[in-house]
Amino acid sequence: MANRLKFWMSQYIVRRYCSQIPQFRMKYLNVAEKNDAAKTIASFLSNGTATRREGCSVYNKIYEFETVVDGKNCKMVMTSVSGHLLQLEFITSYRRWNEVDPQALFSAPVRKACPENNTKIMRTLEREVRSCNGLIIWTDCDREGENIGFEIIDICCKIKPYIKVYRAIFSEITGVSIKRALQQLTQPNKKLSDAVDVRTELDLRTGAAITRFQTMRLQRLFPKKMANKLISYGSCQIPTLGFVAERYKEVEAFVSERFWKIKVLHTIGDLTVDFAWSRNRSFDKAACEDYLLLCLADPKAKVENVTIKSKHKWRPTPLDTVEMEKLGSRKLKISAKETMTIAEKLYSRGIISYPRTETNQFSKDIDLRSIAERFIEHPEWGHFVRRINEWGANPRNGNKTDQAHPPIHPTKLVTDLHGNEARVYELVCRHFLACISKDAIGSETSVHINVAGEKFTATGLCIHQRNYLDIYIYENWNAKQIHKYEQGQSFDPTDILMQEGATTAPPLLTEADLIALMEKHGIGTDATHAEHINTIKERGYIGVVEKGCLVPGIIGMGLYEGYDAMNLALAKPLLRSAFEADLKDICTGKKDPKIVLGEQILKYLEAYKQMTEKITALDNKMALRIDENPTANIDHLVTDKTGHTSAIGKVVNEIFQCPKCLVAPLALRQKKNQDGFYIGCMNFPDCKNVIWLPEDFLEPSVLSETCQHCGPIVKLIKLKFKSLYYKTLFKTPSGWYKTCLLCDRQFCENFNINLEQVKPSGRIIDDASVYTSITASIFPVVTSTTGGIGFEIEAQNGPTSTNFNKNRGKSRTKLKPENKCSSKKTVTTRNVPHFLTPVFFSPSKRTRICRCVSKIY
């Protein structure tokens, strides 16, 4: 009886405590690319019940709700970033224009850092992920979106290294699409993100190096007109400028020619038919007059042939990004940049599908009829939608697809838009309805006549069914009347005339024309065309004149002509288009991103060297355009005190990779007071390794010659001994001595330079350049030292290497409880009934239950 009582009492205690323990549920942190998208997605997933609270950033709110994921009720926290969260940059020392040779930027260490304006967003992610078991990325489903997603993942994984990460795939922010994406979560695509990283690093290196070189040179040569101007270079922007400048020069060089032609007029009643000469035109006036006299001598016209054939005006193909940008420019007179900005806002609000797509064909899986029926109540388009329902939605598909997103189409009917937003939305809607309707149908009549042996032709058009033209107001198809003619018929022309005209120059490029050229030559992507055009507009390289025509600016034309005179591949589209093809191969896994980056950097480095050799051609062309004589007619490459030649006066002389941080090289530098030299790490202030050279060293310099023992990555140092003692010791009567700090033990021992006493502290940054990173195995094992001549380890504003390692150990210790919480917990079963073991408790409640049951037993 007592044992049975104990058993039931234990059952009662366990049930009582278990009823107070909340059931374990998954909690996900969801991150979108923009706040509007996060708000809309949260609204769809919560059916409008999401609660909002503030994040660290006032522009990026947090939305909380519950929903079902994988058949289980889960708690969701939805927030957002504002585009890219991290920024690729050079380490501090390489950002100083006047201290670094621009050529060094092709191999300088780079890192990803969070800009100051994004730190609050990052703090929100770090705070919210601590209480979550999973992470779902809701950024745009393209290369940039995938890269932003991996930036979010990197930040969250630093807080929770083993958090489960998922990717939501969607092409439109609608309830059906978002809920389907949540139930079909997948893994992020690292290949897409790698392609963006490669492009970003190449653009940073090439843009920074060439921009610095030509800016500093031109500012010094033309101090009056260019002293405060940034003469930037971009591997997409300069070829784009080239298209505009090339067309402008064609127009500028065009010489008009006079021509003459004959035409025959035939008038009956109010209708005059114009017959065009089959020879088109003649640049010889006398010859044209002879043909005219022949026709006037025998002015009888005989109809040789009459053909009537059906004529179709094709409806447009589904809308992709390039076509939308071109239509926005041509039909709406809105710049491509503004068109894309508006389209992205409409997408974030769930009004249209994803606007960055290369696809112009609809999949059979898309229910086009249901999309069209959303507009059946529209006062203007409703009747046309009913006609589409009668015909059946039948799109005229194009031949492009990116296998990721459907063509741009509306996702719902809205009537509260205004201004350019309403116009862009209307364009998307009308284009969609037009592309799924029917072609316009008509018949064309062609009449061929003979007058004194000369052939003339006239055409007429009769429209039978307008079809898509009833909704697509951006195109016209006008009927053209013609008299009824029969084969063999003869008639007397009303008049036979000779007209004079002149050839005209090709038109200047419009923004739509420029986008078409960029697409043809592979400059940029559909998603970046508008950005590149807007960039060169802002820099003043091109301008917009009447009717939206583009013309080069003074500096823009000077750059184009200078690059052309130097015959640089930098200004041609081939180099960039080949790189864009490599990026596509990275996305598909055909090419390794590290190899592509290394090859491309070498190509641009070779072009940079060619530019430095032929730079006077740019000087001369720029001088003519800005109407200012250069301050000097000689190349002002200078030699610094260490013997290094560069485009600037003060340069950094790199020796070998810093053995402490393994991020940046050690370099020979002059003290600020110009009194003596030192060897310091280029990763200062993150790494404070330094060798203070004694006063006995005179005129030290870094040679281009490398150490035969240590390899091609270690350069020799040349210096002159002041003391007779050292001249005798090192057997150099002249005092000049060449040494390698890594393998010249006699030199290091005499001057107390002990590299083996510096402890490597590991990488200070994670994203060092794959092109120049050198593994730690190249350098000897080193330990810390203090006092005398050697590497200075003590940090003024940061931890020492020893403290740094301790801190790293502490951070790992702090993560242990979180790691344990993420896995299943087991309960010690000593003195505990078997039915307790499957239950998950908080540690405090678990202890109390076990103690109670132990007392009973």
Longest dimension (CA), the chain: 138
Round to whole Å and give the CA distance between 311 and 173: 40
Nearest to 753 by CA among 806, 725, 792: 792
Catalytic residue at 354?
yes
Distances (CA, A) of 598 to 315, 554, 663: 46, 35, 18
Which residues, in sequence order, are CB contacts of 447 under 8 Å at separation 6+?
273, 275, 303, 305, 306, 457, 458, 459, 460, 482, 485
Task: Give the residues across from 449 on adjacent strands.
Answer: 303, 456
Which among 248, 354, 541, 560 is annotated as catalytic?
A: 354
Round to whole Å and give the CA distance between 415 and 379: 10
Which residues, in sequence order, are CB contacts of 121 under 8 Å at separation 6+?
55, 56, 57, 60, 81, 82, 85
What one-character-per-residue DSSP string does 366-386 give?
A: S-HHHHHHTTTT-TTTHHHHH
Round to whole Å and give the CA distance between 25 and 316: 50
Round to whole Å and give the CA distance between 587 and 525: 14
Nearest to 596 by CA among 80, 66, 259, 197: 197
Contact between residue 10 and residue 856 where contact means Cβ atoms under 8 Å apart: yes
Q: Tokens for 668, please give them.
A: 């020979």
Element (H, E) at 632: none
Round to whole Å and give the CA distance between 345 and 342: 5
Element (H, E) at 490: strand 490-491
Phi, psi of 450 (to 5 degrees): -125, 125
Give me the numbers of helices (H) and strands (E) for the chain, helices first please: 24, 26
Element (H, E) at 714: strand 711-721
Which residues, in sequence order, are CB contacts of 396 under 8 Å at separation 6+?
314, 315, 316, 317, 435, 439
Active site residues: 354
